[in-house]
Amino acid sequence: MNAVAAPKPRVLVVEDQADIAELILIHLRHAGFEATAAENGVLAQQKLDEVLPDVILLDWMLPGGQSGLDLARKWRATPRTRNVPIIILTARGEEADKISGLDSGGDDYMTKPFSPAELMARIRSVLRRRAPERLKEAVTVGELTLDAGTMRVTFRKRDIAMGPTEFRMLHYLMKHPDRVHSRAALLDKVWGDHVFIEERTVDVHIKRLRSALNDAGMMIETVRGAGYRLSSKQDA
């Protein structure tokens, strides 16, 4: 019996400049991805409704009144698309712009112009960290529980929704409660291949994680000059 080939990862490229979109599609397909493109938010939503991609490459500046950041926020707030990794593509390179891109729901950020090799590396990186390390049993700290098998987080028996990067970060922190983790250590353990990721990115995702956790967010403590820890002793 012949082995069934694994499905190719699907990438949706949301880019209004046709020449850039076509170049990205060529490199994606050459690298073994199944890729399609949309030139604006309306077409991108149609493609998402048809087939859910494994990764979205999302340009910041788009025609039609919806920016890439608007789309990222909408998709992060929608259960069906909440866990799809988003890489923001933009010509804006200032730190404030990068933070805005990550705050809107992006898992990574690339400044134009970028090399095809770096783009492929970043896509592979977000795909690797999309699925958290599997555990046979749930992890519980206080009233906070994380089940890696079902990708569910509950606090006081109420479900908590969050993105894939925040899920993986919480997973790691809960496996090592009360220990202080530097930004560099979190990059290594949560992102893995973090050669392209800045340490400031950790702060943005910690902020998003605290926001998602709501009342349980106070369990994640900032240790000035050292990093972050998840406290098992604090009454959240």
d(CA 147, CA 198): 28
Tell me what pLDDT residue 102 has.
82
Alpha-carbon gap, residue 219 to 23, rounded angstroms: 45
Bond into 9 cis (ω within 30) = no
SS3 letters for the chain? CCCCCCCCCEEEEECCCHHHHHHHHHHHHHCCCEEEEECCHHHHHHHHHHCCCCEEEEECCCCCCCCHHHHHHHHHCCCCCCCCCEEEEECCCCHHHHHHHHHCCCCEEEECCCCHHHHHHHHHHHHHHHCCCCCCCCEEECCEEEECCCCEEEECCEEECCCHHHHHHHHHHHHCCCCCECHHHHHHHHHCCCCCCCCHHHHHHHHHHHHHHHHHHHHEEEECCCEEEECCCCCC
Tokens matching residue 6: 């694994």
pTM exceeds 0.85 for this model: no
End-to-end CA distance of the chain: 55
236 residues of the chain, pLDDT tens digit each: 444 345 688 999 999 999 999 999 999 999 999 999 999 999 999 999 888 898 999 998 888 888 889 999 999 888 888 888 999 998 876 777 778 878 888 888 888 888 889 999 889 888 876 654 444 568 999 999 998 877 889 999 899 988 888 888 999 999 999 999 998 888 877 876 545 667 788 898 999 899 999 999 999 999 988 899 999 875 54
Predicted local distance difference test score (pLDDT) of residue 43: 94
pLDDT (0 to 100) of residue 91: 83
Identify the pLDDT of residue 213: 93
pLDDT value, residue 2: 41
Rounded to an integer, what distance in angstroms lies between the CA atom of residue 174 and that of residue 177? 5
The CA–CA distances, whole Å, from 139 to 148, 181, 191 equal 8, 18, 20
pLDDT at residue 236, rounded to an integer: 43
Report the distance separating Cα 100 and Cα 123, nearest Å.
20
pLDDT of residue 4: 38
